[in-house]
Amino acid sequence: MKSLSIVIPAYNEGKRIGNTLKDYLGFFGKRDFEIIVVLNGCKDNTLSIVKKFSKSKNLHFKNFPQKLGKGGAVIEGFKLARKEYISYVDADGSTKAKDFYEIFEKINGFDGIIASRYVEGSVISKKQSLGRIIASRGFNFLVRLLFNFPFKDTQCGAKIFRKEVIKKVLPFIGTTGWAFDIDILFRANSLGFKIIEVPTTWSNVEGSKLNMRKTVPAMFLSVIRLRLLSSRFRSIVPLMHKISQWFSK
């Protein structure tokens, strides 16, 4: 049986992470797995809730008082992962443990597998608002245009890779913000690793703290900055980074 490390980045997830941990620890049970929760500058009761589950030998956590960004938290989790396959999933429970495991079973001979809400066969049990759907689709269109990706949904928070992939791409990851998912896929693709996109069952879970007015511009600027990092226009990257940070505040 393949072993699996599941990294869960968490930023002020006190209202949702308890149900997520209960679901994942309960479902994976006696399988060869570990869950690594990385607390990313939390100001609420996320830490106390995670500690309640720490009696499980399969759960580990690391608390960072400063905000690292989702990508920064995932990277710290990668550094602690010990299993044959390394993955990450959102703390909100939008991807249930059963559905996550079904994704894992499909990895077969591929180097990585990513869940998608926008390919044939996907099931969205509770949709996002129209504004978020439009922003998500527009963002993915830009990503496919800039990076020539075949993937229809780079931002779905459920991705699994062979440990070798993570070890090879980690030194090259240059972003910890919204472009992190694109960065890791871009690096893996550049190194010749084979990544497959598969349909998933996904549900929008209430409680998101995203400010769309600030988040959308930050997302678009971060992915453009990432594209510039790998081109001859590197000189304007610092300016793009400052603008992206301003929108993220």
What residues have CB less than 8 Å from 74, skipping those under 6 apart?
7, 9, 38, 88, 180
CA angle 240, 246, 248 (to 5 degrees): 105
The pLDDT of residue 198: 97
As a whole number of angstroms, the distance between CA 47 and CA 16 comes to 12
- 4-248 belongs to which homologous superfamily? Spore Coat Polysaccharide Biosynthesis Protein SpsA; Chain A (3.90.550.10)
Provide block-wise average pLDDT over 10 residues at a time, the chain (249 residues). Answer: 95 96 96 97 96 95 94 96 98 96 96 95 81 78 86 92 97 84 92 96 74 68 77 45 50
- Measured in degrees and rounded to the nearest 5, phi and psi for residue 121 equal 105, -15
Q: CA of 177: how far to CAs of 34, 174, 203, in Å? A: 25, 10, 23
The pLDDT of residue 240: 44
Closest to 36 (Cα-Cα) out of 99, 1, 83, 100: 83
Domains of the chain: which residue ranges? 4-248
Closest to 62 (Cα-Cα) out of 10, 5, 103: 10
- Are 113 and 103 within 8 A, CB to CB? yes
* pLDDT tens digit sequence for 170-197: 998 988 877 899 999 999 999 999 999 9
The dihedral sign for the CA sequence 107, 99, 116, 208: negative
**What is the pTM (predicted TM-score) of this model?**
0.86
Beta bridge partners of 61: 37
The pLDDT of residue 226: 82
Closest to 35 (Cα-Cα) out of 1, 10, 61: 61
Residues in the chain: 249
Mark 203-229 as b/e (b = at least 16 C-beta within 10 Å).
Answer: bbbeeeeeeeeebbebbbbbbbbbbbb
Closest to 222 (Cα-Cα) out of 122, 143, 136: 143
